[in-house]
A and B are shown apart, each in its own frame.
Chain A
């Protein structure tokens, strides 16, 4: 049973427009969420995170929104740039309840393609 779901395997966006990547989770104990970005032949790199005490976190062009009642989070990239083309993974953890000691639970990823 997948506890973190990224239902769009791929997403194509024009350069300069907004990219919105979505993630849903089923485990109500998750209280900390992270986005990682992965280029081919490389390991994932940390992008941005949000804890359940917030509903928005912003870092430059990247903003993550959390809707706890819907168990949904989204990553917005504005404006999208060619270098943003990568696979984006949503991940979750039980920080407050589990101490964050366990490994992250990852979604399957969304391949974002930025078109010139």
Chain B
């Protein structure tokens, strides 16, 4: 158990809809990272927050947004969903604001857009 909790585990929704994925980091970790894993792809970095502030951005679409709350949990909002957004979305946390310290990943949210 990594200590990182992601909810929900599965999500099925229709094109054009909006969903929110939630992540609770490991106790004491200040950084939260979001990654997307599409079919047969590696993990693609989306965005990082550190202690409530956006720290780094990767290949995150404008239709996607995220935030980290004062209690350090994070939410990833995906809107105007398209079929291609179907993927596994992982959240990871670490104590520092650098991803070279080992990241602790949750078990992911599987999003299916129909």
Contacts and interface: CB of A to CB of B under 8 A. Distances in A.
Contacts of B2: 43, 45
Contacts of B47: 103
Chain A interface category by residue count: 20 to 34
Interface string A77-116: 0000000000001010101000111111111110000000
Contact of A104 (B41, B55, B103): B103
Nearest to B110: A41
Interface of A: 2, 4, 6, 32, 34, 36, 41-46, 49, 89, 91, 93, 95, 99-109
Contacts, number: 76
Interface string B8-48: 00000000000000000000000001010000111111111
Contact of A43 (B42, B45, B106): B106
A71 B2 CA distance: 31
B111 interface: no
